[in-house]
């Protein structure tokens, strides 16, 4: 089995104006010999707001840092006011976050809709980061595995998955709360997810699938998550808005922070 290259993904959500986005890009790119793209053994992905995608892409041109949309519509074109199509997104980005819990919670995205979005993203050459995760109530009711099973099965039903597909486990109670899951909780959920991918798509896809943890990832806990058998990186919200924090997380995800 080829080793899975870990991913350090920053979700900027609805933050940063153009100037602040430029400042953050400059800070991540400098100093030259210590820039984010110099960290070896990790794929970095940045997900700015739609209006900043092109400028972020231009800042990182030629570095290997990927740029992602935070969402997209499933249809190629049409009368869908306010939406961005996969074809439009693919002109400026190569990745897309799908099914983030804030999309599910505030914009009524369900697993069926996500199945269409994953299908459309892959058809347009975009690399989806599919987000799944349970609420506090679901965890307390011991329903975490049932929820992950429904989310993964329905979102991936009937889709021919690439061998390096990406899923992010993001328990809702850990997002933006400062209360991350424990490494054991995250590993247990990631193992469930990998098992579901194995059932749905076979051993090659399951062994190659990168599973990220997201929810209050910080420089001091990123390494512990990344060291878990079934966790292959981090999806970072708040801490990705600070260059030093995101650099430190990226180094920890790459396993190259030892001795610093």
Our finding on whether 215 is near ligand PGA (CB under 6 A) is yes
* Residue closer to ligand PGA, measured from CB, 14 or 61: 14
What's the N-to-C CA distance of the chain in angstroms?
31
At closest approach, how far in Å is the CB of 223 from ligand PGA?
A: 15
Which one of 73, 100, 109, 138 is the catalytic residue? 100
Our finding on whether 214 is near ligand PGA (CB under 6 A) is yes
At closest approach, how far in Å is the CB of 6 from ligand PGA?
A: 16
Our finding on whether 189 is near ligand PGA (CB under 6 A) is no
At closest approach, how far in Å is the CB of 218 from ligand PGA?
A: 8
Q: How far apart are CA 214 and CA 226, in angstroms?
A: 11
Dihedral-angle region of residue 82 (phi above 0 means left; psi in -120 to 50 means alpha; beta otherwise): left
* Residue closer to ligand PGA, measured from CB, 171 or 208: 171
| Residue from 205, 204, 107 nearest 156 by CA | 205
Our finding on whether 216 is near ligand PGA (CB under 6 A) is yes
Q: How far apart are CA 234 and CA 116, in angstroms?
A: 25
Count of chain residues binding ligand PGA (CB under 6 A): 13
Our finding on whether 69 is near ligand PGA (CB under 6 A) is no
Structure tokens at 111: 């697993």
* Residue closer to ligand PGA, measured from CB, 170 or 232: 170
* Residue closer to ligand PGA, measured from CB, 90 or 236: 236
Q: Are the CB atoms for 219 and 249 separated by under 8 Å?
A: yes
Our finding on whether 52 is near ligand PGA (CB under 6 A) is no
Our finding on whether 250 is near ligand PGA (CB under 6 A) is no
Residue 155 neighbours by CB distance under 10 Å: 26
Active site residue 100: yes
At closest approach, how far in Å is the CB of 75 from ligand PGA?
A: 25
Residue with tokens 């870990």: 6
**Please, which of residues 163-182 interact with ligand PGA by CB under 6 A?**
170, 175-176
Interface with ligand PGA (CB under 6 A), residue from 148, 236, 248, 252: 236
Which one of 102, 109, 134, 170 is the catalytic residue? 170
For residue 127, whether the previous peptide bond is cis, meaning omega lies within 30 degrees of 0, is no
Q: Does residue 172 sit in helix, strand or coil? A: helix
Helix ranges restricted to H, the chain: 18-29, 53-59, 86-90, 101-106, 111-123, 136-140, 144-156, 183-201, 203-208, 219-226, 243-254
Number of H helices, E strands in the chain: 11, 8
Interface with ligand PGA (CB under 6 A), residue from 171, 223, 237, 251: 237
Which residues are identified as catalytic? 100, 170
Instruction: List residues binding ligand PGA (CB under 6 A).
Output: 11, 170, 175-176, 214-217, 235-239
């Amino acid at each position: 089995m080829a080793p899975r290259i870990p991913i350090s993904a920053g979700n900027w959500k609805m933050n940063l104006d153009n100037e602040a986005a430029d400042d953050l890009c400059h800070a991540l790119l400098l100093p030259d010999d210590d820039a984010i793209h110099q960290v070896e053994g990790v794929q970095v992905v940045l997900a700015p707001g739609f209006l900043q995608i092109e400028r972020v892409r231009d800042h990182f041109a030629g570095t290997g840092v990927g740029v992602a949309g935070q969402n997209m519509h499933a249809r190629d074109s049409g009368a869908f006011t306010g939406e961005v199509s996969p074809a439009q997104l693919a002109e400026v980005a190569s990745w897309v976050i799908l099914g983030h819990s804030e999309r599910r919670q505030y914009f009524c995205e369900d697993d069926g809709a996500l199945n269409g979005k994953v299908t459309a993203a892959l058809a347009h050459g975009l690399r989806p980061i599919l987000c799944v995760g349970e609420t506090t109530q679901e965890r307390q009711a011991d329903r975490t595995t049932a929820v992950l099973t429904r989310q993964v099965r329905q979102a991936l039903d009937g889709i021919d998955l690439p061998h390096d597909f990406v899923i992010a486990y993001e328990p809702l109670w850990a997002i933006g709360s400062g209360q991350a899951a424990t490494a054991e909780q995250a590993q247990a959920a990631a193992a469930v997810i990998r098992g579901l991918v194995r059932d749905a798509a076979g051993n090659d896809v399951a062994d190659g699938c990168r599973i990220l943890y997201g929810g209050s990832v910080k420089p001091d806990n990123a390494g512990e998550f990344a060291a878990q058998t079934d966790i292959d990186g981090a999806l970072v919200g708040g801490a990705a808005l600070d260059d030093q924090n995101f650099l430190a997380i990226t180094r920890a995800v790459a396993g190259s922070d030892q001795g610093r």
